[in-house]
């Protein structure tokens, strides 16, 4: 055992930076390998919009110059890395004078807020339902109704979202249909705005939670069934412990370990957002921003969001690595991963 | 040492596993008792139903198994069909288990002290220093150092884990301990140590035990009486000395013959054969397909138990 050693910490930290470096380099290389030229693409959009553009090749050259695309690739790479460290991704291709980063930041709180809450709720509900389904001692009546909570898993979540909008918003007028907040409230820390934001978040939240908890539940059910057959689980029952103690201390406590790993690995995808949910609810989050950027071939914005995903995933894994020995004593704070 | 008081009685116990392809008759009309302070060895090859006997005694047969008939009496009280809540009180305080899998019977994520303590506090009002002292004394009783108290299972060797299990089993001084192959998963030297620990504890506390095993040789050194099981049936029961002197049942003879000896080189005359499908037992004697002495009468009806010597019974047509 022993506490967190410096060797372990440094090793994990190096892994953290290495992961980010590799990922960030890939987002640099992939667009350049794809062969399509963003500046030409921009001009094409312009042409479509206005019909005709004078001096098209001059504009392309000027664009290339201002985006630094004429420099040798090595210089471009170094400059790119330098900029990544400073969260400076240059201008947006599609909305030119605007900085790419400035297009992403306003969307971040919406997505992070919605998806963090949704993911945590989905995990908690899913794990609870799955553990109960996998436990032999779950009362029969409960075991009969639990699977009902998973019926929506088989419906694609955008279908579920559309269903919610049409019933709850349009038919019943209980909740606003789309957007992050209404036009008639003042953004800021005031009660009407907060209430409005919450009202707008309910339906996207529910559609994500209801449709994604099934995955956790089914996984957890399998893990729990496995633990049911472990000798230590039988012995706990033979000891005459209360069912609650057997369920939590011996059951969930062991079965949840792989699920926690999966959860930590999924943290990065929070930024990618639930693109379809954000799209259907016209929610002003990063998922929607990413969707628009891909449509507009806005490479710098795509890079910004992709790099954020990479950094946050790496952070999630780092935190898991640092916490894991605390939740699973078989993993020790040794320099390399113990068996 | 053994008094005449029966602390555990299995009367005509029948346990079936209801699989989709038919009922597996894992325990068939088994009668067995354990007297106070006595160790009864239950021996038989793998798959003959030993673990099923152990688990049904605790009313913990794994699904799809069910006790379909018979009584299990602990200190005179029949516990078959007792409500779950009553059973929970009874488990560990009256009936403790040393499970089969030595390597895996402790919760990998909690400390030894917690796992030892929770079995005690589930049945007794004790906490703080008193609880700590009790756990430490139990560890000491099975020859484990004090530091084990704060360790996790993966930090212990197989033998140490099994001794923790023994310490846990004796914690509440139960009427009967069922030890399911307590040493099978260990290597030979460690087997001796664990067996010795069990004997020490038994002698000191005078607990009664069912000791399950498949190794006649090892079992012979520890038990007072032996019950031989084959394909869900008991075929011979008797005091250990009497059984080794006069094994009446052909299967018992086979088991004793199989004990390796350094004094004489025995040809390995193993009539290894497969047990019949437990879903389809033949009429008559359960051992008929492997018995060298099989005759027509064996295929008619199951042989009855007959007393050959004091306390020594056998079920074989040859003696009926
Ligand atoms: N859960 C189960 N489902 C079906 N059959 C089982 C189950 N558990 C045990 N059995 C069968 O019951 C018989 C007795 O098993 P068991 O009591 O484990 O034997 P032993 O402990 O002597 O090796 C075996 O034939 C086994 O195949
Ligand atoms: S009854 Fe017959 S088959 Fe069975 S053990 Fe005796 S001799 Fe063998
Ligand atoms: Mg067994």
Divide the 339 residues of chain A into consecutive groups of 10 and give the mean pLDDT of each group: 72 92 90 72 70 73 73 87 84 78 87 88 94 89 84 77 86 83 79 86 88 90 93 94 94 93 80 76 87 84 88 88 86 55
B119-153 tens-digit pLDDT: 999 999 998 999 999 999 999 999 999 999 999 99
pLDDT at A339: 35
Q: DSSP label at B108? A: T
CATH number of the domain bearing residue A171: 1.10.3720.10
Nearest ligand 2 atom to alpha carbon B298: 2
Q: Mutate which of B294, B297, B305, B313 to test ligand 2's pocket (most atoms within 8 Å of Cβ)? A: B294
Report the first-to-last Cα separation within chain B, whole angstroms.
33
- Examine the domain organization and report whether A130 and A146 are in the same domain: yes
Is the per-residue pLDDT at B92 higher than 90?
yes
Please answer yes or no on whether B110 and A328 come within 8 Å at the CB atom: no
Q: What mean pLDDT is reported for chain B?
A: 90
CA A273: distance to chain centroid?
5
Residue A51: C-alpha distances to residues A44, A143, A272, A297, B63 (Å) = 10, 64, 34, 20, 75
Angle made by CA atoms B172, B8, B2, in degrees to the nearest 5: 85
pLDDT at A35: 67
- Examine the domain organization and report whether A267 and A163 are in the same domain: yes
Residue A292 within any structural domain of the chain:
no
Residue nearest to atom 3 of ligand 2 (CA): B288
Is the per-residue pLDDT at B9 higher than 90?
yes
**Residues lining ligand 2, judged by CB closer than 6 Å?**
B 249-250, 285, 287-288, 291, 293-294, 298, 303, 316-318
Q: How far is the CA of B26 from the centre of ligand 3 (A)?
A: 11
Mean pLDDT within B213-230: 90
Distance, in Å, from the CA atom of A222 to the CA atom of A301, rounded to the nearest integer, reads: 40
Contact A185, A192 (CB under 8 A): yes
% of residues, chain B, pLDDT over 90: 68
Please answer yes or no on whether A327 and B109 come within 8 Å at the CB atom: yes
Residue A291 within any structural domain of the chain:
no
**Residue in A with minimal Cα distance to B119:** A239
Give the ligand at the shortest distance from the Cα of B99. 3
Q: Mutate which of B44, B234, B318 to test ligand 2's pocket (most atoms within 8 Å of Cβ)? A: B318
Is B293 or B184 the better-scoring residue by pLDDT? B293
Name the pLDDT band for B264 (thresholds 50, 70, 90): low
Instruction: Show the domain range for A18.
Output: 1-104+297-339
- Examine the domain organization and report whether A99 and A240 are in the same domain: no
Beta-ladder partners of B225: B40, B239
Distance, in Å, from the CA atom of B96 to the CA atom of B210, rounded to the nearest integer, reads: 10
**Residue in B with minimal Cα distance to A253:** B109
Is the per-residue pLDDT at B180 higher than 50?
yes
Please answer yes or no on whether A328 and B97 come within 8 Å at the CB atom: no
Contact B196, B189 (CB under 8 A): no
Contact A3, A333 (CB under 8 A): yes
- Examine the domain organization and report whether A76 and A188 are in the same domain: no
Q: How far is the CA of A229 from the centre of ligand 1 (A)?
A: 14
- Examine the domain organization and report whether A58 and A165 are in the same domain: no
Name the pLDDT band for B272 (thresholds 50, 70, 90): low
What are the residues whose beta carbons fall under 8 Å from the beta carbon of B289, sequence distance 6 or more? Answer: B273, B276, B282
Distance, in Å, from the CA atom of A124 to the CA atom of B227, rounded to the nearest integer, reads: 51
Contacts of A249 in chain B (CB under 8 A): 107, 110, 118
CATH superfamily, domain at B6-319: P-loop containing nucleotide triphosphate hydrolases (3.40.50.300)
Residue A289 within any structural domain of the chain:
no
* Angle, helices A253-266/A108-134, rounded to nearest 10 degrees: 160
Question: What SS3 class is residue B103?
Answer: helix
Q: Which among B285, B282, B275 is positioned nearest to B320, based on CA atoms?
A: B285
- Examine the domain organization and report whether A251 and A307 are in the same domain: no
Distance, in Å, from the CA atom of B6 to the CA atom of B75, rounded to the nearest integer, reads: 7
Q: Which among B3, B55, B78, B79 is positioned nearest to B34, based on CA atoms?
A: B3
Residue A23 within any structural domain of the chain:
yes
Tokens of A7: 């060797």
- Examine the domain organization and report whether A60 and A144 are in the same domain: no
- Examine the domain organization and report whether A112 and A99 are in the same domain: no
Q: DSSP label at A252? A: I
Q: Is the full-model pTM beyond 0.90?
A: no
pLDDT at A251: 95
Residue A6 within any structural domain of the chain:
yes
pLDDT at A183: 76
Q: DSSP label at B91? A: B
Neighbours of A32 (CB within 10 A): 13
Chain B closest CA to A129's CA: distance in Å? Answer: 22
Mean pLDDT within B96-114: 89
pLDDT at A255: 95
- Examine the domain organization and report whether A149 and A206 are in the same domain: yes
**Mutation to test the B interface, candidates A232, A258, A323, A334, most B Cβ within 10 Å:** A232
pLDDT at A149: 80
- Examine the domain organization and report whether A277 and A312 are in the same domain: no
- When divided into structural domains, chain A yields a total of 2
Distance, in Å, from the CA atom of A145 to the CA atom of B253, rounded to the nearest integer, reads: 56
Distance, in Å, from the CA atom of B243 to the CA atom of B170, rounded to the nearest integer, reads: 29
- Examine the domain organization and report whether A154 and A188 are in the same domain: yes
Residue A290 within any structural domain of the chain:
no
Is the per-residue pLDDT at B48 higher than 90?
yes
- Examine the domain organization and report whether A137 and A261 are in the same domain: yes
Give the A-side interface with B, CB within 8 Å. Answer: 1, 136, 229-232, 234-242, 245, 249-250, 253-254, 257, 327-330
B279-319 tens-digit pLDDT: 888 889 999 999 999 999 999 889 999 999 999 999 999 98
Distance, in Å, from the CA atom of B317 to the CA atom of B320, rounded to the nearest integer, reads: 5
Question: What SS3 class is residue B39?
Answer: strand
């Amino acid at each position: 055992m022993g506490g967190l050693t410096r060797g372990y910490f440094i090793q994990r930290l190096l892994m953290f930076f290495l992961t980010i470096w590799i990922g960030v380099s890939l987002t640099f290389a992939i667009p350049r390998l794809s062969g399509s030229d963003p500046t030409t693409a921009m001009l094409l959009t312009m042409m479509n919009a206005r019909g005709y553009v004078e001096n098209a090749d001059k504009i392309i050259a000027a664009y290339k110059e201002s985006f630094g695309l004429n420099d040798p690739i090595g210089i471009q790479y170094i400059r790119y890395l330098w900029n990544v460290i400073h969260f400076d991704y240059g201008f947006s291709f599609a909305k030119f004078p605007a900085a790419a980063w400035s297009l992403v930041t306003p969307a971040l709180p919406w997505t992070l807020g919605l998806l963090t809450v949704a993911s945590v709720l989905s995990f908690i509900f899913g794990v609870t339902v799955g553990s109960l389904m996998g436990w032999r001692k779950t009362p029969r009546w409960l075991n009969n109704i639990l699977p009902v909570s998973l019926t929506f898993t088989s419906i694609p979540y955008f279908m579920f979202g559309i269903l919610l909008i049409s019933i709850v918003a349009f038919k019943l007028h209980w909740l606003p249909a789309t957007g992050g907040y209404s036009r008639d409230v003042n953004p800021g820390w005031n009660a009407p705005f907060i209430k409005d934001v919450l009202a707008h978040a309910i339906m996207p939240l529910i559609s994500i939670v209801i449709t994604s908890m099934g995955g956790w539940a089914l996984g957890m059910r399998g893990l729990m069934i496995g633990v049911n057959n472990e000798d230590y689980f039988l012995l706990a029952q033979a000891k005459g412990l209360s069912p609650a103690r057997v369920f939590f201390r011996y059951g969930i406590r062991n079965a949840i370990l792989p699920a926690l790993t999966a959860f930590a690995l999924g943290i990065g995808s929070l930024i990618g957002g639930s693109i379809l949910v954000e799209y259907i609810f016209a929610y002003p989050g990063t998922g929607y921003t990413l969707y628009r950027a891909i449509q507009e071939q806005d490479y710098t914005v795509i890079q910004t969001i992709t790099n954020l995903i990479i950094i946050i995933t790496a952070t999630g894994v780092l935190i898991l690595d640092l916490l894991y020995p605390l939740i699973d004593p078989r993993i020790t704070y040794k320099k390399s991963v113990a068996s | 040492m053994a008094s005449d008081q029966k602390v555990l009685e299995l009367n005509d116990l029948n346990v079936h596993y209801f699989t989709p392809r038919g009922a597996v008759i894992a325990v068939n009309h088994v009668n067995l008792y354990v007297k106070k302070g006595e160790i009864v060895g239950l021996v038989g090859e793998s798959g003959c139903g030993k673990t099923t006997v152990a688990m049904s005694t605790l009313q913990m047969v794994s699904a799809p198994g069910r006790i379909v008939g018979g009584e299990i009496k602990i200190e005179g009280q029949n516990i078959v069909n007792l409500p779950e809540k009553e059973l929970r009180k009874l488990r560990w305080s009256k009936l403790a288990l040393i499970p089969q899998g030595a390597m895996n019977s402790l919760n990998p994520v909690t400390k030894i002290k917690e796992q030892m303590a929770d079995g005690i506090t589930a049945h007794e009002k004790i906490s703080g220093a008193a609880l700590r002292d009790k756990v430490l004394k139990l560890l000491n009783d099975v020859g484990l150092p004090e530091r084990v108290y704060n360790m996790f299972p993966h930090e212990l060797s197989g033998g140490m884990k099994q001794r923790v299990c023994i310490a846990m089993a004796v914690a509440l001084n139960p009427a009967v301990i069922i030890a399911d192959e307590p040493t099978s998963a260990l290597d030979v030297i460690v087997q001796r140590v664990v067996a010795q620990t069990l004997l020490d504890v038994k002698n000191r506390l005078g607990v009664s035990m069912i000791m399950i095993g498949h190794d006649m040789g090892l079992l012979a050194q520890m038990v007072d009486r032996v019950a031989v099981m084959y394909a869900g049936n008991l075929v011979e029961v008797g005091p250990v000395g009497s059984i080794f002197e006069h094994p009446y049942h052909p299967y018992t003879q086979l088991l004793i013959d199989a004990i390796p000896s350094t004094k004489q080189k025995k040809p390995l005359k193993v009539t290894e054969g497969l047990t019949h499908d437990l879903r389809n037992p033949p009429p008559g004697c359960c051992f008929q397909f492997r018995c060298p002495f099989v005759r027509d009468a064996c295929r008619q009806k199951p042989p009855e138990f007959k007393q050959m010597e004091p306390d020594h019974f056998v079920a074989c047509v040859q003696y009926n």
